[in-house]
Structure 1
Amino acid sequence: MQQHQKDNQKSQQSPQNNRLLWQYAGFAFQLLAALALGVYAGIKLDARLKTGMPLLVWLLPLVIIIALIIKVVKDTGSRK
């Protein structure tokens, strides 16, 4: 009888868990795509601006990471 109750609780929590799984998977894809785009843009801009060191290759992904951390904090913060 307890096993049936546990299975019933798992099936009720499953849609919520699946939604969170897809939400985090979407964020992971967004993070990877944004970083790849930032690195690519940094390489191209460094080549175009002829900087002596790969400055934008480092700065653009850093800005992207900071922006995504701010987004996560806002999305997961408590609503008042």
Structure 2
Amino acid sequence: MNAQPPKSRSNSSELMRYAGLGAQFFVTIGLMVWLGYKADKWLRIPLPLLVWLLPLLSVGLLIYKLVKETSKPK
């Protein structure tokens, strides 16, 4: 019998924490691509400049936030 120990609350809460951060990553990147697309059309920029810049900026800020939140001492 290989009985696995029950999952502790801390493991479950850590999983939900990282799942929330991942969801935030995807939603933010998608929103920035959409905003960049709309801004490029509104400003009539011939190349997709803001479609590239806004998501790249948001990825940099999200990585900073990820490192800041995950390196907190417990």
Length-normalised TM-score, structure 2: 0.85
- Give a deviation string over 1:10-57, Cα, whole Å, max 9, x none: 33x521110111001101111111011100000000001111100000
| AA at the equivalent of 1:47 | K
Length-normalised TM-score, structure 1: 0.79
- Number of residue-to-residue matches in the alignment: 72
> Tell me, what secondary structure is at the counterpart of 2:8?
helix
Larger Rg: 1
Unaligned runs of 5+ in 2: none
Aligned equivalent of 2:15, options 16, 21, 24: 21
Contact persistence 2:40–2:49 (CA under 8 A): yes
Pairing 1:72–2:62 present: no
Aligned-residue Cα RMSD (Å) equals: 1.6
The percent identity for this pair of structures is: 39
Unaligned runs of 5+ in 1: none
Cross-structure match for 1:61? 55
Select the structure that is richer in helix. Answer: 1
| AA at the equivalent of 1:32 | F
In 1, distance between residues paired with 2:41 and 2:72? Answer: 43
| AA at the equivalent of 1:67 | L
